[in-house]
Structure 1
Amino acid sequence: MPGSTANSSGSSATIPSATPSTSSSGSVRGASGTHPVEAEVSRLFAAYNNQSRTRRPARNTHTLSTYTHTFCCLGRKDASTVPSRVGKDQLQRLGLGDKRLVFRGNQDSSADFMDFILSTYPEMRDAGGFELLKISGTTHNRNLSLIPCPNQGYSVRYLKDPAVFINNSTIYIRPLQRNLNMENLLGSDSPVSLQRFPRQTP
């Protein structure tokens, strides 16, 4: 159509109505001295380049992000309540219990999160997996509730989701299939007795 040219989406961009001039090469140029097609291509590619430049910092920030939270590793697969003060002290002596951990890596990766947990609590490697729990209801409640595991596995991004309702609460890590081997953790000369780790019932 005279006076207009089509852009990449099929719509038309109106060209100024100034009388076009003809260069020595015979091409038609507008009043600004730029060929209409060249102007449109420059406009489209300028927008694309600006969009690409704004995306790069986001990827770098995502890769270098950190996540700090308090975790507590439980020893039994049937644990369903918050350990007592004495119980927490015993877990602490075994290298379990409350720890303020800092995650560095891809917050969307369940594999990175699993490596993070297993490197912190290597005893969990023989547990057949693990589950994450949080305090159910108010902070004065000692009952623990399961944090549902998404199909792709736990990730930091998932745990930070407000819909999961973790906020600053301690995240409890529970063995999935097998209790942790307390005897190996205690050692033969440890003053902590296994009898002081009673079975917790739901």
Structure 2
Amino acid sequence: MADIANILRKLANDVDSGSNSHVPDRPTPGGHNAVDVEVNRLFASYGAEASRRPLSRRSRSTRPRSSFTRVFCCLSRMTQSVAPTKFEREELEATGLGEKKVTFFGDENNAEDFKNYILTTYPKLGDCGGFEILKTSGMTRSRNLVVLPCPNTGYTIKALKENMGHAVIYIRPMQKDIELSSSVVCESPMLGPMERCLTCEKQFNFNELKVHIESCRPRTECSNHLPPTLENEHLNAQTSDSDSLINQSPTEENTDQLFIDLTDEKTDMIARNL
């Protein structure tokens, strides 16, 4: 930039020196040379832009935003004064209430911002005519709840920071209870994944497939492939039948006695005929 200005100044001086013999010098405002005035005019925009340019990005100031993270627990009854049990918390959470970890950003003195955060987290509070903030009182394991006095401007993040510490913050509807029964979600029974039947190619879950197999198998296959319990019963029946036959078959002594009896009877018959 300085080199260009010097070149222009030199050219202007050369032109000026050639015309001095014909035209008398004109006075310039402030006593400055005409060449300097012209150079300053040509490069005035560059100087103004440089003066407007910030020195660094860090010099830009941003509005500070405070954050506040706590665990909230929204109750359903406007007269509840005891912290919910484990079963009650599960019931509340099933309806969109109960415990939730919430992080607030913004002006910690703005009550409207805090209210909007709460209603966004627990939409059902919007139809209850306001809400109250409560905290546990007494010993560490105490379940008794007391109301945090509301400032004239409304509850704010700053008020919670000063009065609540790090304990769970309870929220209670002010004018109307929140209905729970209509929003309770029933858990589906555990039936297992789907599996294909090898006989009919249909899909069944595990519990249904066990029952379906017994009725879907062909009769011949069922007879050839007896379950272990039925097979044992069949073997036991065969064994018992064999034992009974053995018990009923004549022994060697009985056979000899029978043969002797038959021989004597035959001898008597021959003697009579003679």
Q: TM-score, normalised by structure 1?
A: 0.60
Q: Which residue of 1 aligns with 2:176?
A: 178
Task: Find the partner of 1:167 among 160, 165, 168.
Answer: 165
The residue correspondences of 1:52-63 to structure 2 (distance < 5 A) are: 60-61=63-64
Q: Which residue of 2 aligns with 1:92?
A: 93
**Separation in 2 of the partners of 1:108 and 1:138?**
30
**Separation in 2 of the partners of 1:156 and 1:109?**
8
Q: Which residue of 1 aligns with 2:141?
A: 140
Q: Which residue of 2 aligns with 1:13?
A: none
SS in 1 for 2:63: helix
Q: Which residue of 2 aligns with 1:195?
A: none
Between the two proteins, the alignment pairs up a number of residues equal to: 129
Contact kept? 2:74, 2:172, Cα under 8 Å: yes
**Cα deviations by residue, 1:127-186 (Å, 9 ceiling, x for unpaired):** 11000000011221110010000110000011111xx2x111100000000001224433
Instruction: Name the % identity.
Output: 40
Question: Greater helix share, 1 or 2?
Answer: 2
Q: Which residue of 1 aligns with 2:114?
A: 113
**Separation in 2 of the partners of 1:126 and 1:183?**
17
Task: For CA contacts below 8 A with separation 6 or more, give which structure has more relative contact order.
Answer: 1
Question: Greater strand share, 1 or 2?
Answer: 1
Q: Which residue of 2 aligns with 1:197?
A: none
Instruction: Give 1:126 shift.
Output: 0.6
1:115 and 1:184, CA in 2 relative to 1: closer, same or farther beyond 3 A?
farther
Q: TM-score, normalised by structure 2?
A: 0.45
Greater C-alpha Rg: 2
SS in 1 for 2:170: strand
Q: CA RMSD in A?
A: 1.9
Is there any run of 5+ residues in structure 2 with no aligned partner, and where? 1-58, 188-274
Q: Which residue of 1 aligns with 2:186?
A: 191
